[in-house]
Amino acid sequence: MQREVDWLLSNPYTSTLAFVSVAVMALIFCLFCFELVTRYNCWDEIKNGNVAVAMATGGKIFGICNVFRFSIEANDTVYQSMIWALFGFAILLAAYFLFEFLTPVFKIDEEIKNDNRAVGLIAMIISVSLSYLIGATII
């Protein structure tokens, strides 16, 4: 089985399809994890026009995909890439909790749910910025 997979991944077209397919599935999983830890339903809030949630969620999507990008670029196999990408995602998730914890004056999730766009923008910029830092460390 390993030989067949390696043979398929030696073709640049099937390799691209494999990496993108696995990354999209992992992105969906990571977004699901973020959905579990937020105190609001991202997609319901976005559907209702909550721009702060859209910015924060967009930052998470970009951050996750950027970590995947670095992990794909730095590794030879889909398996190695996903291990590094999921490790990077775990760091992003930890940063989310740290951001919430280090802002004791108000609750990040409550402010984002209340469409505080300044907080949504900061959350987006933190996700994007950290994804570059995490990506730089991926080997």
pLDDT (tens digit per residue) in 95-136 = 988 888 888 888 899 999 999 999 999 999 999 999 999 999
Judge whether 46 and 111 are in contact, CB under 8 Å. Answer: no
pLDDT digits (tens, 9 = 90+) for 16-60: 888 899 899 999 999 999 899 888 999 999 999 999 999 999 999
Give the whole-angstrom CA distance, residue 80 versus residue 41: 32
**Residue 50 dihedral angles phi and psi, to the nearest 5°:** -75, 105
- The pTM (predicted TM-score) of the whole model is 0.88
